[in-house]
Amino acid sequence: MLKKILIANRGEIAVRIVRACAEMGIRSAAVYTEPDRFSLHVKRADEAYNVGADPLEGYLNPRKLVALAVETGCDGLHPGYGFLSENAELAEICAQRGVTFIGPSAEVIRRMGDKTEARRAMTAAGVPVTPGTEDNLADVNEAVTVAAGIGYPVMLKATSGGGGRGIRRCDSEEDLLRQFDRVVSEATKAFGRADVFLEKCIVNPRHIEAQILADSHGNVIHLFERDCSIQRRNQKLIEIAPSPQLTPEQRAYIGEMSVRAAEAVGYENAGTVEFLLADNQIYFMEMNTRVQVEHTITEQITGVDVVREQIRIASGLPLGYRQQDISYRGYAMQFRVNAEDPKNDFLPSFGKISRYYAPGGPGVRVDTAIYTGYTIPPYFDSMCLKLIVWGLTWEDVLERGVRALNDMRLQGVKTTATYYQQILKHPEFRSGTFDTSFVESHPELTQYSDKSRPEDIALAVAAAIAAHAGL
């Protein structure tokens, strides 16, 4: 078993990993750049090291991070999600320096990070993919020719893309000609590669993903699926497990295809296989070679600690579960509560949190790194916290979500919490028949009332008095 882990990340995922280490008797070492000096992950880890004044550079320098791991006696490195979590170079340097990378091999990361290579691998394994190019596009003329063959609309995507970046929908040849250079430019800036490919656009699909775990002993299992269809501009907002939209046959098929995909590439550790579902057809979209933001809801319905299993697998241990041991109970839902103003086109709302009270009660979990007095820096993702609720039935989880969002108090910045309450009340969402077009199809949900509740006013007054008194 690993003895000490460097956590090459920040915020709530770093706190999540610290907690897993504490439960396993493993020492944790946090890293931080200057804006994160007072972040919760720094306070909670056993050790913490400053990796620079620049807000981002320290989190994005693989050689510096691995060198720090070696210098501080860490035998493992957990990349979390985002930043360098899917960076093959980081995994390679870890292997060279004798530090265990808690994730798949550099070869698998590189192979699955290349979207065209991933498509070829899935096709060879018998996993269905959307019609499109098998290789990168040579130029815009080839893009026009391919699009004419498969029919519009099409999706133009960065080969090394992720996180909703480097992707454009094109509804006509004129649209494709206009968007091509933009996608190439965005791909180059965001991922350092100008390569793009093209595939058929599946209009208004359901976005379904499956959590897999694979060890070094040849065991691969899935932990059922999550529905990530509630998203804005390809960024997930609300995730649900299991999907309320699948039949038992579809659920079994997606689980089978996910295991097959992992086996086909020799995958080890935790990963996610993402699919699009439309007209009863299921298509492979991509494979994420890291822990997902929304792993929490899988944990809630299955009872499997995904981060703990990541560490066990990286330590060379076999999976603690067989497929027949895995079942699910009830529904779980995660809300990404972002520091954004939904009434102002989701403009970021960074600043100091004057008051924060976490919701609680049965079936409620909060993963976060914020606290009263914490200042949300403008350099990173705008997510403040992840609110996770569980209920035995679909109706239970809906009502618990409304209640938990209403319980929460987060003042000093604008957030998406009230917007999520509007979604939960909408008949289309409550019926479980939504797809990826839901947010764009219902702009009226951002036009909610901002009337303050009496208790909110009282809290604001108390905060002002406390600040004036120097408390």
Catalytically active residues are 290
Token couple for 266? 């020799």
CB atoms within 10 A of CB 109: 23
Q: Which amino acid is at 140?
A: V
Of 285, 289, 281, the C-alpha closest to 265 is 289
Cis peptide upstream of residue 153 (ω within 30 degrees of 0): yes
Pairing of strands 269-278, 235-241: unpaired
